[in-house]
Every structure is written in structure tokens, then in C-alpha cells.
Chains A and B, each alone.
Chain A
Amino acid sequence: MTLAIELTGITKRFPGVVANDDINLAVAEGEIHAICGENGAGKSTLMKILYGMQPPDSGTIKIHGEAVELHSPAQAIDLGIGMVHQHFMLADQLTVLENVILGAEPMRSFGRIDFDAGREHLDEVGRAYGLDINADDLVETLEIGERQRVEIIKVLYRGAKILILDEPTAVLVPQEVDELFRNIRELKASGATILFIDHKLDEVLEIADTITVLRQGQTVGTVKPEDVTAHDLAEMMIGSELPVPDAGASTVTSEVALAVDGLRVIGEGDRAVVDDVSLSVHRGEIVGIAGVEGNGQAELVNAIIGLDDPDEGTITLLGREITRFSVRSRREMGLGYVPQDRHRDGLLLGFTLWENSALGHQTEGPYSRGPWLSRAGMRDRASRIKADFDVRTPNIEVSAHALSGGNQQKLILGREMVAGPAVLIANHPTRGIDVGAQAAVWDDIREARAQGLATLLVSADLEELIGLSDTIVVMLRGRLVASLDPNEITPRDLGAYMTGAALEAEAP
């Protein structure tokens, strides 16, 4: 058996952090190799080094037995290495086809781009791996799940034989994960080597041939899935037991905090993307919204936050109708929001952590007094968020892009929680957070719930939905099609509701 990848003694330092500390990694040709580890363990950094995005401070890289020095992704691509990032890197304003061929354009004479050839190749790749996508859609209009498919196709299009996937399942529902895993197995069958990062341990155990665990920049060990359990893995990663989401005793009150009534949002082509949706969230209650990406959850949330005006219906927050209120006034009334896409909607990547900790609350104390910013107040809050939410960073003066993905998520969550919201819209709140920190986040939400927080929880993690919610509603093609009791439903059944299969079976 030859090794596709052999990394020896890789070390990489950032200001205040050793991201990779003498890491060794060996990946056999044609295997599916999972990398696990807590947030900030150095997984993404290691993958970026392998993809030529960042030079290691020391250490050697061997690809198919040959030592290489990677200075750019272009070089890695030439060696047949492709990477799909934790945070997608697509140009919103371009079509799927344009994004896929960007930088690898098939050319005709006189430097003209041969779009037909590109389209043909794209269709070929899509068919070969069963990845379905419309080449002419604007990326801007795609849901996250679809964007991921574009990213994978983009890599395959360039003929990658070694595929790096950074947290590919974080954004997917179980049925989609199954599909992704089918694709991965197909890729493997056609000779590809796959390296992927995942925080969901049962998924790792299901698909991986080999698992390497990192902790604080070091290799803890490499194991075979048949030799370990999820508990063993969790222990290797964080040194403690695997947490399970659990709502505990109900704290639901009779007081409605957020009410949505007859809401309709008309999307492109006069189709109602949110269709006559009514729901209410009480103080002390967590209402979970289940649904496959792209069934109107994003539009519903946007309407509640105030990013888009609904075409019909009303939204009531704490007894006041806010249907036409600005985002800012809603937030000042106590509406907290954890967005789904943290880079696009949640952070100012070039700004310091303390500036980021004020975003969305900058008009309120202690971040400001009247028209004046309070730097002291901002720094103070940021330090508190760092401590209370375990944001791993050397200090709060670094810019947000220096945080690992999971730590960025913790910063956003902390920012919304310390503001003491009355209503929290949490869109995939634990996405990309390691199993240890996940438990802490669940605790925080539960605690706030006991204090009367009303939460609308949108999540792709069905265990989380079932474990945390007091009520689950299922959204399908813009409508709420079912209201379920989380105590009586399994993830599989819930998945069936989400795809509509359960409803068809129920129908006479």
C-alpha cells in the first residue's frame, strides 16, 4: 500500500498560538481519512498547509511518496489535490458554471472562454458522481447545501484525486449526509483519496477508514473505526464524555414572546417561498424548525429579523406588531440572532474581536453611550464573551479571521447571549462547534430558557432539534406541514417528515 499523503513534523505558528505542533499524518491511497479534534485544534490549518494556502514553519510534505514544497493552491491542484473549505469561497454574483470554471477556463482562440466545453465537462462531472446542479443558477440564489455541491464539483472539475473536505456535513440534514457519503464512497471506488474534517463522531465512525485525532495542535492518535466507539473518540478529543442534548423539565409559560401570523413571502417567479406560516414562541420555550435546506426557513427567518419585508401577514414581538420595523429597532427591543452563515452575516472578518462583539448591539450599552462608542465597554464585553463562551484566542485584539471556525461561532453565540435577548433566533447555533463546546452551548440556551428566553431554533442537526426543542414544526415548500412532539419522534422519522415522505404515507 502506498501513501497518498505523508506529513512529517509539520509546525505552524500564528501570533500567540501554535496551530500545528510537530504533526505527523499518513494517508493511504484510496482511503477515507477523517480528522477530528476540538475547535482550534489546528485541523483547518493543517489542511490549508496541505493545499498550499499557508506555508508550514517547518516539516515536510510528501505526495505519492515524493517530497514537495507547496507555495500555492495552484501547485496543489496540479498535484491532484482539491479542497472544499469550511467557509465556502464562491463568487455570489457569478453563475454556477462561471464559478466552477473560474481559474480553469477552457479557452478558444483569441483568449475567448469556451463556455460550451465548460458546460459539457461540468455535466459530465455532475453525472459521474451523481451531483445534481443547474449550471446557470446564480450562486447568490443557492442555499448552503447547494453551494457545497458547487464547491465539490469545482474541485472534481479540476481533476482532483485527493479531496480535502473541511466540515462538509455541518450544513446538511441526515438524508443529504447519506447522499454525500454515497458520493464519497463512489469517489473512493474510482480511486480518489479523501480527507475530511467532521465534528459528528457517529458520522466519522460510519464513513472513515482511518481516524486521526488532533488536540491543541498535536496528534493524539490514529485509530480504526472498528476499534473505537464515539465515546472513546470524544475522550481522545476533549478528554470527557460525549454530551447529549437534553431539554430537561419544561419551562414553557403562557406568555407569547414572538408570534408570526399568516406570513407570506413571495420569491422569484411569483412563488410563495413562505406560505401562510403561523407560529408562536412562548417565554421559556424553544420551538424547533425542521426542514431540508431551501424550504423557506431562510426567508422566514429573514422576515422575522427584518432583512426582508413579507408580502402578507404580521409579526409580533413582545406584544408589539413589528412587521415593518427596521432590523435595528427589532434588535433594540430584544431580538437576538445567530445567523446561519457566520462569515457573510455574522462577522466583520477584518475587525478586532471587541469590535465584532458589538456588531448588532452597537447602539446599546455598554457598547455605546448616546452617539459615542465606548471602547472600554466593548473590550469589557468581549473579554467576558471570551471567558464565558470559551473563545480560544490569545487576546481580543486579534481580528476575527484569526479565529478557528468553531471559535468564530462561539463568539457570535456569546455576543447574542450576553446581550440578554428576550427572543433568540438561532440558525444552526452549534454548527462547527466541537462536542465539548456544544454541550456548553446547550447548557447556556437551556439556562436562558429557564430565565424566560423564547428561542426559535433552526438546525440541521436533528439530534439537537429533538433534544432541545419543546415543540418541533416541519417546514416543507414554504409551509408548516407538521407539528411534532420531540419526546415521541426519532431522527429518522423526523427526516421522513422533512422530505415529505411521512406525509404521503399518512395521506389516505
Chain B
Amino acid sequence: MTARLTHRLMLSSAAPIAAVVIAVVLSSIVLLISGSNPLAAYADMVGHASKLETQVDILNRATPLYLSGVAAAIGFRMNLFNIGVEGQYLLAFIVSAHLGAQVELPAVLHIAFILVVAMAVGGAFSGAAGVLKVTRGVNEVISTIMLNAVVISGLSAWWIVEWQAGGEISATGGRVGTEPIADSGILPNINSWLELFTREIGLGKKLTGMLVIAVAVGIVYHVMLNRTVFGFDLRASGANPTASHVGGVSPKRMVVIAMALSGAVAGLVGMTELMNTGYYPSNPISLLGFTGIAVALLGRNNPAGVAVAALIFAFLDVSSGILQISGAASREIVEIMKGVIILTAVIAYEVVRRIREREEAAAAAAAMATSPAAAL
């Protein structure tokens, strides 16, 4: 039994591992062609990543990527392509930063308030695309792209100007952004948790408390999907909307709810940065939404898979920082690696699926040979 379990685990991890290996091989070729030494570059990256401080950075990067990946995955489960995670998290970020700075609340409530506002804004914004889809038949890809454009270029710029006029934005102390949130609204870092296992974290690095929230979101997502009636409805409706409708699941309702949920999780993506700096800056960390789509794809929309994918991407992003200093290779090589990983993963998953099917059939045939009576 355990042997079979390990075999199954190996099969399911075979695809992502194969994807990473192929990506390493291909990028080595690219590096060789461009005249760099791939081994030196990888050694630099791995060496850098073995430092505790770098690992903190990787986790801090993986946290928003994971949330963004889960947001995309919720949509994918319903065959919805929420390409608007990008706009949703930036809008949620700016609104919750603004409102969070306006209120005075005791610590826990203040933090909860900010997170709830972020989720509500993301959810409403994304839910709107869902409503457009079911009432007007607007494809969610189109509507979320448009809404992205509105947020990314329009709203943010407009609000920043507004707030500047109101004196809310100051450039003092090198800070350009919304008014800072009081300490009571800032989720504390969890350095002490990590330090339990290792030494003290140096260089002023802080491990984001949002990591805990992200893990919680992953668990809730898993339980919701697999253990609740709602999750059954969601999976069923995504797999066969007409049969599910006959089975009492309104496809329109599910589209709106799935979009809203996806947006609500998206709303949390920007919170890692907000809880670190305390304000919405003029140049927030962006592109997390688009990367999340790739993370969801690599992680097969499943909570644990998305976590692994987020960690892989975060590792590549962060550890490649050393290349700029060491000069072993161009840092952009990791972008090539990410692309190759996604492409090969898609192919590798299909190959593994076929292998598994064939194995099942062979196992059945073997079982049959020993006990023909078990045919039916």
C-alpha cells in the first residue's frame, strides 16, 4: 500500500520536476550561447538562496504569488479566466490603504478592517465582471482586461492627484504615497516564528505575517472545494454546466460567486506590501496578478500544487538578484526559465496522465489474469 502511494506521489510530482529539469537544460543552452557559464550562474543562485535572509525574501515573494495563484485557480475551476487579478489587487490595495489610514481602531480590529476592505473591493470589482457576463454575455476575459486598464492607468493616477491636492500624499522622508496606516493596522512580522528553528534574521529582513493568512486561504480553499456542498457545486458547474444546472446549480449564480471569490482573494495580494510599508506607494509592486495565472497553471489549480509553483517562481525571482552583483549571467535568464517551465509543465502533465491511464489498464489486466471471476 505504501509502495503504491509513493509510486502515485512520484507520478504526480513527475510532471513539475520534469518541467524544471527541462527548463534548466534549455536555459543552460541559452546561457552558453550568450557566452555565460551556466554552472557558475546556478551556483550563485543556489548559494544566495541558501542564506536565511534570502529565504525570508523568497517567502515574502511567494506569499502574494500564492494568493494571486489561488485567485486565478478559483476562476479556472469554473472555466473562468479572471485575467483581472492585476487590477483587482491594485485597486484593493489603494482603497484599503486609504481607508485604513482614515480610521482609528484597536489593533486586531484595525488589521481585520483593512483585510476585509481589500477583499470586499477585490470581490466587488471582479464580481462586477461576473455580473456583466451573466446579464450581458460579456466575456470575462474582455471585461477584466478593460477593468484592469481602468484601474491601472486611470483610477490610481486620478486618486493620487486628488490626494496630493488634499495634502494626503507627502514626499517627506523619501516616501511618496498615501498617508501611512497607524501601527495598530499593521500585521506584525513573524520573524520570531522562523527564528525558533534557526538563528536570528539579519539585515533588517522581516518575514511577512501575510504568510499565515496565505496558508489559511489555501486551507480554506482546499476544504471548501473538496468538503463542502458549495465546493461540489463549483467543481460540478465548472466540469459540466448544463448537467449541474439540471442538478440544481444555477450556472449564472456560480459564475458571479466564483468571480467574486476570485477577486476577494486577489484583494489580499497587495496586502503583503501594505503590511510591510504601511502605505500605497506611487510605484507598487506590480505584475503579481499576471504571474499568478502562470502559478495557477503550473500548480494545476490545486492548493498544494499552487504553493509549490509559487515557491518555485519566488525562488527564481529572488535568487536571480545575485546575478546582477556577481555578473555570472543576465538576470533575465529566469524569465526564460519561467516561460519554459510553464510550457513544458503543460506537456508533461498530459504525458503523465497517459502513463497513469496505461498503468491502470495494465494493472487491471494483471489482476484479471489471476482472478478471472472478478470481471464484474
Using a CB–CB cutoff of 8 Å, the interface residues on chain A facing chain B are: 13-18, 40, 57, 216-217, 305, 307, 326-328, 331-332, 337, 339, 344-351, 355, 358-363, 368, 371-373, 392, 394
Is B361 an interface residue when CB atoms closer than 8 A count as contact?
yes
Q: Please tell me which one of the listed residues B227, B243, B361 contacts residue A348 in the complex, with CB atoms under 8 A apart.
A: B243
B245 pairs with A307, CB closer than 8 A? yes
Bound Cα distance A368, B226 (Å):
12
24 A-B pairs with C-beta separation under 8 A: A13-B368, A15-B360, A16-B364, A16-B367, A16-B375, A216-B375, A307-B245, A326-B250, A327-B249, A328-B249, A344-B243, A345-B243, A346-B243, A346-B246, A347-B243, A348-B244, A351-B235, A359-B236, A361-B247, A362-B247, A368-B229, A371-B228, A373-B229, A373-B231
Most buried by A among B235, B246, B367: B246
B365 pairs with A373, CB closer than 8 A? no
Most buried by B among A217, A347, A348, A358: A348
A355 pairs with B360, CB closer than 8 A? no
B375 pairs with A17, CB closer than 8 A? yes
Query: When A326-B250, A339-B246, A371-B228 are in contact, do A15 and B364 touch as well, CB less than 8 Å?
Result: yes
A351 pairs with B239, CB closer than 8 A? yes
Query: A372: which B residues are within 8 A, CB to CB?
Result: 227-229
Bound Cα distance A326, B246 (Å):
10
Is B5 an interface residue when CB atoms closer than 8 A count as contact?
no
B227 pairs with A373, CB closer than 8 A? yes
A394 pairs with B376, CB closer than 8 A? yes
A14 pairs with B245, CB closer than 8 A? no
A344 pairs with B368, CB closer than 8 A? no
Chain A residue nearest in CB terms to B228 = A371
B376 pairs with A17, CB closer than 8 A? yes
Using a CB–CB cutoff of 8 Å, the interface residues on chain B facing chain A are: 226-233, 235-236, 239-240, 242-250, 360-361, 363-365, 367-368, 374-376
Query: When A15-B363, A371-B228 are in contact, do A359 and B375 touch as well, CB less than 8 Å?
Result: no
Query: A13: which B residues are within 8 A, CB to CB?
Result: 361, 364-365, 368
Chain A residue nearest in CB terms to B237 = A348
Number of A-B contacts (CB under 8 A): 102
Bound Cα distance A339, B229 (Å):
22
Bound Cα distance A371, B230 (Å):
7
B246 pairs with A327, CB closer than 8 A? yes
Interface of B is mostly: helix
B248 pairs with A351, CB closer than 8 A? no
Report the minimum CB–CB distance from B302 to chain A (whole Å): 15
Q: Please tell me which one of the listed residues B231, B239, B376 contacts residue A216 in the complex, with CB atoms under 8 A apart.
A: B376
Query: When A216-B375, A326-B250, A345-B246 are in contact, do A358 and B232 touch as well, CB less than 8 Å?
Result: yes
Q: Please tell me which one of the listed residues B226, B229, B245 contacts residue A371 in the complex, with CB atoms under 8 A apart.
A: B229
Bound Cα distance A344, B246 (Å):
10
Report the minimum CB–CB distance from B349 to chain A (whole Å): 15
A331 pairs with B236, CB closer than 8 A? no
Chain B residue nearest in CB terms to A217 = B375
Bound Cα distance A359, B243 (Å):
8
Query: B250: which A residues are within 8 A, CB to CB?
Result: 326-328
Q: Please tell me which one of the listed residues B240, B364, B375 contacts residue A349 in the complex, with CB atoms under 8 A apart.
A: B240
A17 pairs with B364, CB closer than 8 A? yes
Bound Cα distance A18, B240 (Å):
29
Query: B367: which A residues are within 8 A, CB to CB?
Result: 16
Bound Cα distance A120, B109 (Å):
72
Q: Which 6 A-B pairs have the closest CB atoms?
A: A328-B248, A360-B247, A15-B364, A359-B247, A13-B365, A345-B246
Query: B229: which A residues are within 8 A, CB to CB?
Result: 362-363, 368, 371-373
Q: Please tell me which one of the listed residues B231, B248, B360, B368 contacts residue A326 in the complex, with CB atoms under 8 A apart.
A: B248
Most buried by A among B228, B243, B360: B243
Bound Cα distance A120, B361 (Å):
45
Query: When A15-B360, A15-B361 are in contact, do A360 and B227 touch as well, CB less than 8 Å?
Result: no
Report the minimum CB–CB distance from A409 to chain B (whole Å): 14
Report the minimum CB–CB distance from B271 to chain A (whole Å): 27
Chain B residue nearest in CB terms to A57 = B365
Query: B247: which A residues are within 8 A, CB to CB?
Result: 327, 331, 359-362
